[in-house]
Amino acid sequence: MPRADILTDATRGLSLVPTAGVPAFAILASGRGSNAEALMNAFAAGRIRARLVGVIANVDGAEVLNKAIACGVPTRLIAHKGLKREEHEEKLFAVLNALGAEHLLLAGYMRVLSPWLLSRFRGRIVNIHPSLLPEFPGLHGAERQFRAKRSVVGATVHYVNNGVDTGEVILQGSIEPRGDEDEQTLVRRILFEVEHVIYARAVRLVVERLGVTDAS
């Protein structure tokens, strides 16, 4: 069985304004969409008391779009190539508005959001990072945990702010490395045994803090 030890639930310290009705989430992703698919499955199974209104990719041909289509989730491609960041984010914001998205879930979204876009979803953007923050922020967090020979490794779900992986922690999960596993194996275990488990749990916590008790 996957093991994800809950280390931190920081949502109790946040002041979120309850929303009327069921909150609407959109997923932003850039690649394969492994975490995005786990989230889509959680929404479809009713484990998250909220609506998933769309999956948006910024890379043409991103596999996540095919996974979303297979799950019956609306998809949008807002390619960033050839656009200035301001132009791309204006297009993205317009699509999010059209979908009715109130909250954003970053799942392998390889773009740094500008202060302009952050301000429009302040306190309503969530990301997952493959390390036990505050250790190893930025790129290749899982690999850096392996190379540092930590006795416990894991992942963090956190709110997004203007820094790099510095937002308020919502939930963390951990596993212990096995003595005989290589870097690639550990990275995959962090993804499948921790990230896929805690992201949906963290979104459930966020929804609960919004005062939602009934998905109907």
Catalytic residue annotation: 129
Type of residue numbered 68: A
Residue 101 and residue 76 in contact, taking contact as beta carbons nearer than 8 Å? no
Q: Which helix (H) or strand (E) holds 47?
A: none
Q: Which residues contact 137 (CB under 8 A, 6 or more apart)?
A: 129, 131, 164, 165, 166
- Three-state secondary-structure class, residue 29: strand
